[in-house]
Amino acid sequence: MTSQPLQAPRAPDAPRSFPADHEEVTLLVDARIDAADGVVSLVLRHPNGGPLPAWAPGAHIDVLLDNGLIRQYSLCGNPADRAAWQIGVLLEPESRGGSSYVHDRIREGSAVRVRGPRNTFPLRPAQHHRFVAGGVGITPILAMVEAAEAAGADWRLLYGGRTRASMAFLDRLAPYGDRVLIRPQDEYGLLDLAAFIGPPRADTLVHACGPEPLLRATQKQCADWPAGTLGIERFAPVRPTGAEAAPSASFEVVLTRSGRTLTVPPDRSVLDVVEEAGVPVLFSCREGTCGTCETDVLEGTPDHRDSVLDEDERATGETMLICVSRSCGPRLVLDL
Ligand code: FES
């Protein structure tokens, strides 16, 4: 992410992606559930009833809509159920055509093209967990709390939303009693993160997903905690600031596997140029949030502008998100 000093390193047993599962597949909508005001949940199954790729809490899939848009939705079902995937989709008031298409056009029995799963937000094991969810940000967190419960960890969830009626999956959280704090804003006001997260502890990890103001407040609350405490997932890219908002220069990319050398002009991305040259490359969001276009860097120093990599990953410079990130120098060598 463009500014995530507290995002935790990836656990060794929690890979970012599962490249073998990136083939596009068409699934059927087995159930379409009104999960809350403005939120529909889709249960997807393979048409032949076969198993779907395995996933872990925090994973998302790409949904390739028939209007040409690609959207990422977190999996929120049970990872042990290999026969079905479940997602939750909030109807965005200012939808750019993704969530409104899902709400208006996708019904039970609809065919839906998907890719994945991919995990840029893994649940890292810990003795104590604090989960923070805002609105539809509950979707990845839901699978995390169920996994933490199954692992016998000590955990608490703070879940905020506009109103109780707008908050999805309250029924699945009900069995956990006072481990879950349901805090609709019209009843409780803003979330009390200070009281929930408390003072720094070395044995506790925090995972958060929700709107940008909530994530920024959570980052601030964890500022004095040990590095790597906080893992977050954003819905949208962080707006560039400072050096990242500076004008871009052109640079050269050398693609070792395809034997091409291309120039990336200031107003185009590496992905644009590589795609135009006919070099096969995976991508989805094109805005630095999904992780699909992550590419190995063999030489040169990337100018990271994404919302996915943590500080350690940025510092090593071993990979970059080519849809948004650029080069600090005149030349990059990529494994493409
Ligand atoms: S395509 Fe999503 S991060 Fe690059």
Atom of ligand 1 nearest to the CA of 284: 1
pLDDT tens digits, 176-210 = 999 999 999 999 999 999 999 999 999 999 999 99
**Does 309 contact ligand 1 (Cβ within 6 A)?**
no
Q: How far apart are CA 68 and CA 60, in angstroms?
A: 19
pLDDT-based confidence at residue 1 (cuts at 50, 70, 90): very low
More confident: 267 or 9: 267
Residues 6+ apart with CB under 8 A from 333: 253, 254, 256, 297, 298, 299, 300
**Does 323 contact ligand 1 (Cβ within 6 A)?**
yes
For 4, phi and psi rounded to 5 degrees?
A: -135, 65
Find the mean pLDDT for residues 267-282. 94
pLDDT-based confidence at residue 20 (cuts at 50, 70, 90): very low
C-beta of residue 114 within 8 angstroms of C-beta of residue 47: no
pTM: 0.83
- What is the H or E stretch that residue 195 is in? helix 193-197
**Both structure tokens of 92:** 């965005």
**Does 85 contact ligand 1 (Cβ within 6 A)?**
no
CA–centroid distance, 287 to ligand 1, in Å, is 6
CA–centroid distance, 78 to ligand 1, in Å, is 26
Q: Give the pLDDT of residue 38.
A: 96
Q: How far apart are CA 120 and CA 145, in angstroms?
A: 17
pLDDT-based confidence at residue 2 (cuts at 50, 70, 90): very low
